[in-house]
Amino acid sequence: MMNAIIARQPGGPEVLELVQRKVPQPGAGEVLIRVASAGVNRPDLLQRNGMPLPPGVTDVLGLEVSGTVAALGAGVDYPAVGTPVMALLNGGGYADYCVARADLCLTVPQNLPLAQAAGVPEAAFTVWHNLFELGRLQPGETVLIHGAASGVGTFALQCAQACGARVVATAGGAEKVAALRQLGVWRAINRHSEDFVAVIVDETGGHGVDVVLDNVGGDYVARNLSVLAPGGRHVSLSFMQGAKIELDLQLVMRKGLSLTSSTLRPKSASEKTRLAQCISKHLLPLIAAGKIAPTLHQTLPLAQAADAHRILEANANIGKVLLQVAS
Could you state, in order of their start, the residue ranges of all structural domains in the chain?
2-119+295-324, 123-261
Average pLDDT value for residue range 119-137: 97
Mean pLDDT of the chain: 96
Average pLDDT value for residue range 293-312: 97
pLDDT tens per residue across span 260-298: 999 888 888 999 999 999 999 999 999 999 999 999 999
pLDDT score recorded for residue 266: 84
pLDDT score recorded for residue 263: 86
pLDDT score recorded for residue 239: 85
Q: Does residue 217 have a pLDDT over 90?
A: no
**pLDDT band for position 238 (50/70/90)?**
confident
Residue 320 phi, psi dihedral angles, 5° rounding: -85, 150
Task: Tell me the C-alpha distance between 36 and 117, whole Å.
Answer: 9
240 closest CA partner among 219, 270, 269, 266: 219
Average pLDDT value for residue range 151-157: 97
**pLDDT band for position 182 (50/70/90)?**
very high
| Per-residue CA distances from 14 to 255, 306, 308, 309 (Å) | 48, 6, 11, 10
**pLDDT band for position 72 (50/70/90)?**
very high
pLDDT score recorded for residue 106: 98
Average pLDDT value for residue range 245-252: 91
**pLDDT band for position 224 (50/70/90)?**
very high
Average pLDDT value for residue range 28-53: 96
Q: What single-letter DSSP state applies at residue 52? A: P
CATH class of the domain comprising 2-119+295-324: alpha beta
**pLDDT band for position 37 (50/70/90)?**
very high
Q: Does residue 327 have a pLDDT over 80?
A: no
pLDDT score recorded for residue 12: 98
Extended strands (E) in the chain:
2-7, 16-21, 30-40, 64-72, 84-88, 97-101, 105-107, 142-145, 166-171, 187-190, 209-214, 228-236, 258-261, 296-301, 320-324
Average pLDDT value for residue range 96-112: 97
CATH of domain 123-261: 3.40.50.720
Q: Which residue blocks in the chain are alpha helix, DSSP H?
A: 42-48, 121-127, 151-162, 174-182, 196-203, 220-226, 249-255, 269-282, 284-288, 305-313
In this structure, of 36-40, 75-79, 219-223, 262-266, the range with the lowest mean pLDDT score is 262-266
pLDDT score recorded for residue 243: 83
pLDDT score recorded for residue 40: 98
pLDDT score recorded for residue 242: 81
pLDDT score recorded for residue 116: 97
Task: Tell me the C-alpha distance between 98 and 115, whole Å.
Answer: 15
